[in-house]
Structure 1
Amino acid sequence: MNRVSLVKGTVFATDNSGAYVDITAKSTAYLPLHEACIHRIKNVEEAGIIPGMREEFMIIDENQADDTLILSLRSIQYDIAWERCRQLKAEDAVVKGKVINANKGGLVAQVEGLKGFVPFSQISSKSAGEELLEQVIPFKFVEVDEEQSRLVLSHRKAVAESQGQLGIGSVVTGSVQSIKPYGAFIDIGGISGLLHVSQISHDRITDIETVLQPGDVLKVMILSHDRERGRVSLSTKKLEPTPGDMIRNPKLVFEKAEEMAQTFRQRIAQAEAMARADMLRFQPESGLTLSGEGILGPLASDLPPEGVDLSEVPPAEDS
């Protein structure tokens, strides 16, 4: 950022098109509405710009007709946003972004005020792009290129990391997103997991809505997860102190959840240890790698072998 083009000023009046700013200079200074904020706004007041506000502005132009200096806050905010995205990518951090558009190549999401492109290969969901519109979901940065105004995001990598922190047998709190004939989808911190009807209770359930309703908050146990596909299977059945408690007394199930999960983890730990020992004997011949979860298989890369198609990447900044 060119520090010479920055100036301190105080807003002294506003109108429908922007704000007038006193920069203690002979020339009048004006902040147009489209330069007032990195986000789209209908009036400057939405961005907190009111008479008396003192701020640092960037001088971006001059109206030759009346010598009025044209100011911008948007340009400063873009510089800050790009720097923030570079920092978050370096930290390999997970961020939240809102899906605002979809095209034939993927989704467009707004992250830190910038537009990021999410290739379909990097979406950890079987949902169509239109179904994700207006949703806030987690992402990781794949590419941050300010010079090319290109921001590429991955939902799949973000979900994979979140799932990696969810060990099999761990108990998490979630809320019911939707009910289907075959089960309920549970939101567990930005990740959608399936509580299959067969995993709700030891007792047979014919109508899920007699047990669960959208918006219900409950404790569930991680039964399994597929990091590559972003699928998480959940269970409350394994948390029942006695068969049928999820139907008769769900409060008791949630109170005893940690205790029941601990018993489950102890039981599978012995079985997994024996299975890993058996699989390790085949590792030299097969060339397969044993993962931290005891899953034998080839190493998977973060991105697909064919790479990511960037032909549909829209500019990260509004034109």
Structure 2
Amino acid sequence: MTKILYNTNINTDSFASILNQYNYKLHTGDIVAGIILSKERNGFLVDIGDKFISYLPNEELALEAHRNFTHSLSNLIHEKRDFFLLKYDSTLKQSIVSVKRIEYIRGWQRIKQFQNENIIFYLPIHKTNKGGIITSLEGIQGFIPNSQIAHQIYTMNTDNHITCTLLLSDEKNNQIICSHKSALLLVSEHKFRIGEIIYGQVKKIQQYGLFIQVKHFVALLHISEIGFKYITDLNKIFKIDQIIKVKIIHINIKQGRLSLSRRYIN
């Protein structure tokens, strides 16, 4: 959850006088300092230093842990914090503020800083579906596709969290894609090298190649990299759980992928 720093040096009575002194006009989309005055049935009353009281609806609380955050806010009456001005109409004397929007903006600012770094995150598993795992990063929903999950490792996890790297972030489309496989490659005790010859175990046989487990990773041995002769049926040559010798020919840390070959192996 986003940590919010409070400025305890601001005097409540000074908000309106500061606005008047600088002839500052509030607008929708502004980020303003305010004080939570009281808890209402469906939200909170907030003083942002204007001539009328603003309203913070329950649905505009935190991005995560909505109920827990509601409870914590009830203990923060009279505390000062920042709010996003969702709606401001001085004529109708209506003002609606949001905490969630502040967290969203600041969350994306931090995510942009993460994009080009090989940072390993320990993310919560909110739920799973046929396509993968739904998680969240900096309070914003993210997704880990099945193609980016090392299932033989993930199934051993019992604390509802998973290690990941950030694969893709797209603020415009509110899209965050993470990779479990990439994180495992980064923290692996065995540092794979291109050209390394290693033994692996056949885990799956497809028409286009074999999926081989090497150490804790499942890598693709494409049919074109098995040999120099045309192969009509891989099932006649290989068996599930068979141990074979392979060479690592490609490592993609970002995607968490290893590619293998059996060519030129003595």
Normalising TM by the smaller chain, what interval?
A: 0.5 to 0.7
Report how far residue 62 of structure 1 moved.
4.1
Asked if the contact 1:14–1:50 (Cα under 8 Å) also holds between the matched residues in 2, the reply is no
2:61 to 27, 36, 61: 36
* 2:38 is aligned with 1:13: yes
- What amino acid is the match of 1:28? I
Find the aligned partners of 1:15 and 1:120 in 2 and give their Cα distance.
Answer: 43
Asked if the contact 2:61–2:100 (Cα under 8 Å) also holds between the matched residues in 1, the reply is yes
Equivalent runs, 1:40-59 vs 2, <5 Å = 40-42=65-67, 44-47=70-73, 50-59=76-85
1:144 to 156, 163, 169: 169
Q: Which residue of 1 aligns with 2:251?
A: 300
Asked if the contact 2:179–2:256 (Cα under 8 Å) also holds between the matched residues in 1, the reply is no
Report how far residue 68 of structure 1 moved.
2.4
Equivalent runs, 1:1-319 vs 2, <5 Å = 5-42=30-67, 44-47=70-73, 50-62=76-88, 67-126=93-152, 135-164=160-189, 226=215, 228-229=217-218, 296-302=247-253, 303=255
Task: Identify if the C-alpha distance between structure 1 residues 97 and 81 changes in structure 2 by more than 3 Å, giving closer, same or farther.
Answer: same
Find the aligned partners of 2:170 and 2:133 in 1 and give their Cα distance.
Answer: 18
Report how far residue 48 of structure 1 moved.
6.8
Give SS of 2:250's match: coil
More strand by share: 2
Report how far residue 7 of structure 1 moved.
1.2
Long gaps (5+) in structure 1: 169-224, 231-285, 287-294, 306-319
- TM-score (norm. length: structure 1): 0.50
Report how far residue 304 of structure 1 moved.
8.3
Long gaps (5+) in structure 2: 1-26, 193-213, 220-227, 229-245, 258-266
Asked if the contact 1:89–1:140 (Cα under 8 Å) also holds between the matched residues in 2, the reply is no
Find the aligned partners of 2:166 and 2:28 in 1 and give their Cα distance.
Answer: 29
Give SS of 2:147's match: helix
% identical aligned pairs: 21
More helix by share: 1
Report how far residue 15 of structure 1 moved.
2.4
Report how far residue 123 of structure 1 moved.
0.4
- What amino acid is the match of 1:301? N
